[in-house]
Amino acid sequence: HYQVNWTCSSCFKKHDSILVSKTKYTFKNLEHSRTYNFSVKAMTTKFGSGEASTVTATITDNFGAVGSLSQSLSENNLTLHWDMPTDVEKGDVQIYQISWCQEEQYYYCWERNTINSTGNATHFTMQVLSGYTYNFYVQAYTAYGVGRESSIQVIVPPLALAVSYGYGRATGGNYGLEVSLHWWRSHSYVDNTHYDFKYRCDDCLGGHDIYRSIRSINQTSIIIDVDRGQRYTLWNKAHAAYGFGTQAQTTVLIKSKLGPVTSLKAVIDPKEKDRVHLSWKAPAHSSIKSYIVVIECPDCASFKTDPVVREETNFTQILPCGNSYKFTVRGVTKDSKRTQESTQTLSLPAPVGKVTNFTVKPKPFKPDDILGDEKECSVIRWGPPQEKEPSSAEWNGYEIVVRTIDSPKNILYFTNTSKETQEFTLCVTERNELQAGKEYFFEIRVTVPCGFGERARVIARFASVLVPNQPPTSSARKQTVNKGLNPVIWAVPVAVIGLILVVIMIYFIHKSRRLERSMFALMTRKIIDDDDDDEGGVTFHSGEDAPLIQGFSDDEPLVTA
């Protein structure tokens, strides 16, 4: 028999031993990223145990992981492709376990679906739903244990069933008003298309909590009950048996017959530049119980306030500096009717000026990197901002925003960076809607304790698109030619140095007659064939005495110079 042992000082299980009769044994389910010391010795009944032979092996972190996991999507059929693990023999792969889940609102999976395929299969096909995001996981089960899990995210595009147009109108009297929303079917309409409709009263006293949803409507219009003087946001999304379409949104303001509040003013506090005072007067011929104040920031990347209910005709609010705001005030009568809205806009000054040297340029990449993760990126660079006030030195970072040109309110990306950062790389990812080669508004401004500095904005084309098989330009060809001439430049001094060394060597050779005669003898030495004589001979073609070349000694050095 043979006694097989292993030890692992950093493993959860430190050692193991087994007695086997064959000259091969497989240890299964060893820990990844660990180094094992194995030893084998023979056990005999006549002579006892033999000397142990040892070997060390390291289990890599990616042991048993499948390679080149990729996906291809054809309509609603998804196919996963992968290569078998490179560190496992083909016959030792027993099964591949494929699991997947649909991402929820918070970008993680609650549970997985699992299916097994044979060890010979390197692809898997299934149907997926449009408009969903999936996470797929592939894991090899081998004769040595479970391999490392590989994963890939698949975003299935939504169906072309988006609502293309919507509008609303009010009908009826003061109570039981109706808004009728109509939409058109998409060009890719199918018979089993339904629509999920939901709406929210933005100005109701309950704020955004008043929310209703109506699912699976098979017509292209709907009527809901509304009240005068209220603003409603309505959403609509088409769906079929194999997925969802994109969501359409519209806002409807139901006009009131009651007049608006008057003399609405918004002024900045003279001492605190980030404090705003609102004041107004009650509408004539109305018995007002309270007022609803709504504050909006159309250009802000992240700003949200709930409607405020006030019984007085004034209101004070601290707001971030450097922004423009829209203030809306409505009155609410004792019988819960809403007046028409009255609006006022106001811009809070920025204590810090714009950043300097603001540029957005595509990030260069080589054709060999076309499959890399950063092949569609832009590099944003800027300099410190212009100071406007002594307190401007308190700025502590930057805000970067990317907007669409056709609709600047549509923000595709925004982030905040530290004060030390003056360069930022933005790439196309699965989490944003940026497209390489398309123009966008790029904005940057500093963040200060009271809010923001002035906004710097440029229009730039995002990232770059590599054109394959493009012939080199004339300048590139010129650079190539010049590059070929470069060896001539450095070959000249090398040749000069070599010539100098040869001259020095000849000088010393002539200086030492003994060395010259010895080297001459070596170059003219002639070996006599073994058939003619048992001993070799040396023939000298010089009339001078033979040098001491046959036997060198310490007191007769060959080189005297």
Cα-based angle 475, 480, 485 (whole degrees, multiple of 5): 125
Q: Integer distance in angstroms from the first to the last C-alpha of the chain?
A: 72
User: 67-156 maps to which CATH number?
Assistant: 2.60.40.10
- Give the Å distances, CA to CA, from 39 to 16, 420, 560: 11, 56, 61
Rounded Cα–Cα distance for residues 401 and 300 (Å): 9
- Which residues are CB-neighbours of 481 under 8 A, at least 6 positions away? none
Query: Which residues on adjacent β-strands are paired with residue 167?
Result: 182
pTM: 0.50
Per-residue pLDDT of the chain (561 residues), as tens digits, is 899 998 998 888 888 888 888 888 888 777 777 888 999 999 888 788 888 899 988 877 677 788 888 888 887 788 999 988 887 777 788 888 999 888 754 455 667 888 888 878 888 998 888 778 888 999 888 877 788 888 888 888 776 655 544 445 555 444 445 555 556 555 454 556 777 778 777 766 554 445 566 666 677 667 776 766 777 777 777 777 777 776 777 777 777 778 889 999 999 999 888 899 999 999 887 789 999 898 999 888 888 777 888 899 999 999 999 999 999 998 888 877 788 889 999 999 998 889 999 999 988 765 544 444 456 889 999 998 876 655 545 778 999 999 988 777 778 888 999 888 889 998 887 677 788 888 899 999 999 988 999 999 999 988 865 444 444 444 444 444 344 444 455 567 778 888 888 878 777 666 665 555 655 555 555 444 444 444 444 444 444 444 444 444 444 444 443
The pLDDT score that the predictor gives to residue 321 is 92
Query: Which residues on adjacent β-strands are paired with residue 310?
Result: 291
The pLDDT score that the predictor gives to residue 517 is 62
The pLDDT score that the predictor gives to residue 281 is 93
The pLDDT score that the predictor gives to residue 161 is 53
- Which residues are CB-neighbours of 286 under 8 A, at least 6 positions away? 258, 259, 331, 333, 339
220-242 b/e with 16+ CB inside 10 Å = b? bebebebbbbbbbebbbbbbbeb
**Tokens in use for 508?**
């010393």
Q: What are phi and psi of 73, to 5 degrees?
A: -125, 125
> What CATH superfamily is the domain 166-254?
Immunoglobulins (2.60.40.10)
Q: How many residues does the chain have?
A: 561
Rounded Cα–Cα distance for residues 306 and 295 (Å): 8
- Which residues are CB-neighbours of 332 under 8 A, at least 6 positions away? 205, 288, 289, 290, 291, 292, 309, 338, 339
The pLDDT score that the predictor gives to residue 104 is 59
CATH topology of domain 262-348: Immunoglobulin-like (2.60.40)
Domains 67-156 and 354-365+375-462 share a fold: yes
> Is the CB of residue 170 less than 8 Å from the CB of residue 136?
no
Domain chopping of the chain, boundaries: 2-59, 67-156, 166-254, 262-348, 354-365+375-462
Rounded Cα–Cα distance for residues 461 and 546 (Å): 86
Angle formed by the axes of helices 474-511 and 513-523, nearest 10°: 110
Rounded Cα–Cα distance for residues 147 and 308 (Å): 58
What SS3 state is found at 45? Answer: coil
- Which residues are CB-neighbours of 134 under 8 A, at least 6 positions away? 78, 100, 101, 102, 103, 128, 153, 154, 155, 156
The pLDDT score that the predictor gives to residue 511 is 62
User: 354-365+375-462 maps to which CATH number?
Assistant: 2.60.40.10
The pLDDT score that the predictor gives to residue 291 is 92
